[in-house]
Amino acid sequence: MLVNCSGCRIPLQPPPAAESIRCAVCRAITHIAAAPYIHSSPYPPPSPYSHSSSYPSPSPYNHSPVGPPPQVFGRKRAVIIGITYRHSRNELKGCINDAKCIKYLLVNRFNFPETSILMLTEEERDPYRIPTKRNIRSAMDWLVMNCQPGDSLVFHYSGHGSRKRSYTGDEIDGYDETILPLDHQIHGKIVDNEINATIVRPLPPGVKLHAIIDSCHSGTLLDLPYLCRMGRNGVYGWEDHRPRNGIRKGTRGGEAICFSGCDDDQVSADTSALSKVTTTGAMTFAFIQAIERGQGTTYGNLLNAMRSIIRTSQSDFLAGGGIVTSLITMLLSGGSFGSGLTQEPQLSSNEPFHVYSKPFSL
């Protein structure tokens, strides 16, 4: 059960039978009234077509409730997470805008059924769709559950990211990358090792996963074995990130590809410099804009276009627009003007490939 803090209104998860809880953000004490249990499923309804009842072994990080998993729905499905950390000193402005625009893109450009998209933002009324650590973990489990050849999966995250020292020998730079759930100050961050174990390693042959990560220090957030190093002239090479200690970070035969907002040692902007109208994540905006302008024919073309859009954030590249640009224009929210963005979106994969000949598709 989640309760809203009496001070800052952030969702809190009290221990069982607790009568009150202190907020780690504003320190206010919230008293908890006894309430009857009401069951609410956080997942879309079962699919009319049947998947096999077998599914990969759960991630060792799984903290979902004991019992059989819910039925998944759709050959295309997505988890979209946008966290603004409202009423905190590290509040972001554009992350929920990012989530809404990615959903619009998936539904209208790539034919994802709305019933196959699980949205986690602070605006959701269902407590199971608030982007807490527990709910994000459950959503990642749902995304890959019972996946079969031909399935297309998307994981989008827009929010804070960070890094911490790794002592396991599985990181070339010595750091683990993390994402910050809404309740990270209470329940902690989610580390790249867990994300890899949950949504990458279980992927069987014929299943395709795309991750779109708009956060700081996100270059290798999925811990994929290969990172595409591309210069401004478009020349590229695949950098081997397989752990020297022999830990396996690839899939069970499926395909995992990640677009991330910046390199592991860079930060990602939450800015109005790109749309000129509302605040968005720079990487999410560049990803959508490149696709809408027809520059996403291959993975290499898309990555180059995203980087170009961010580098020329002062230019009026919105001329001509598109359906997503129109959507962004309709989203009215505040934000500070930013310029001179230095982040460079990254591309990583479970296997190297020719980025200028492989067609991009979701």
Residue 245 is predicted with a pLDDT of: 79
Residue 51 is predicted with a pLDDT of: 40
Give counts: helices (H), strands (E), the chain: 7, 17
**Are the C-beta atoms of 279 and 94 separated by less than 8 Å?**
yes
pLDDT digits (tens, 9 = 90+) for 15-28: 666 777 776 666 67
Instruction: Evaluate if pTM is beyond 0.95.
Output: no
Low-confidence ranges of the chain (pLDDT < 50): 35-41, 45-73, 270-277, 314-340
Residue 20 is predicted with a pLDDT of: 75
Residues 6+ apart with CB under 8 A from 304: 230, 234, 295
| Tokens encoding 288 | 């959508």
Listed in order, strand segments (DSSP E) in 62-200 are 76-82, 117-121, 152-158, 161-165, 175-179, 190-191
By annotation, the residues acting in catalysis are 160, 216
Residue found under tokens 């780690």: 24
Residue 281 is predicted with a pLDDT of: 74
Residues 6+ apart with CB under 8 A from 312: none
For the four alpha carbons of 176, 181, 186 and 187, in that order, the dihedral sign comes to: negative
